[in-house]
Amino acid sequence: MRNPKTTGVGMSAVRRTAILVGVLFLVQTASYLAGDVLVRSAVETGTAVSDSSAAGVRAGVFLQFVNVAAVIGIGVLMFPILKRFSEGIALGYTATKIMEAALLLVSALFALLILPIGQTATAGVETLGALSLEGYDLAFQLAMIALGAGSLLFMYGLYKFRLVPRALSVLGAVGYAGLFVSGWTSIAGWEMAAVLYVPGALFELALPIWLIVKGFHEPTTDSHPEIRYRFPETVQV
């Protein structure tokens, strides 16, 4: 069978998965950031939401639903890849991605509560609106804790089996460790320096670009005898 890299006729299943995972990483980052900006801009002057800003909140929540779908997609797509090397890492990472998605969904639903609550400008209702916004933030921070914990396991797998350059795995480990710590400190009311987010932000841009352009490296069973089986053979598309 011909090599798809030279003929352009076929593509391995793992190569396609790498591209899809890379795209989903970019989608999750862009959709959450844009959605969060829309939600917060609608309530930046208080918890009362005007008719004109309600559309922004709905659009922001929709984008966060897109983010949830992307998070689940990454976990599902990475499971068979990681399982070839370690079933424990595969199960652990996928489980934390599901937890992350569930918490992000809760966060988005709290944002939706701002709409009916924010339509009435009374002291009691505004208090409920403020609580909804706090719930939105709390669920997000818990999601980041789940993301940090699971992704440290993911980085360990990437590093150990050299699925991507080890420098990239180390950058991700530093970034996700900072995210894990910042989640807990934010819940405790301590504001951490924004510089802690820089390694994670760089990684979530670098990894998808690498996966889209280069894909996963295939270790050999000689260097890693614990590998259950090799990546699938090339399939025609």
User: Structural domain boundaries of the chain?
Assistant: 12-221
141-167 average pLDDT score: 95
Residue 220 has a pLDDT of 57
Q: What is the mean pLDDT of the chain?
A: 83
117 close to 47: Cβ distance less than 8 angstroms: yes
212 close to 19: Cβ distance less than 8 angstroms: yes
162-173 average pLDDT score: 95
Q: Is the pLDDT of residue 136 over 80?
A: yes
Q: Is the pLDDT of residue 8 over 50?
A: no
Least confidently predicted of 20-34, 136-150, 177-191: 177-191
What pTM was estimated for this model as a whole?
0.82
HSE, CB side, 13 Å, CA atoms: give it for residue 45.
Answer: 6
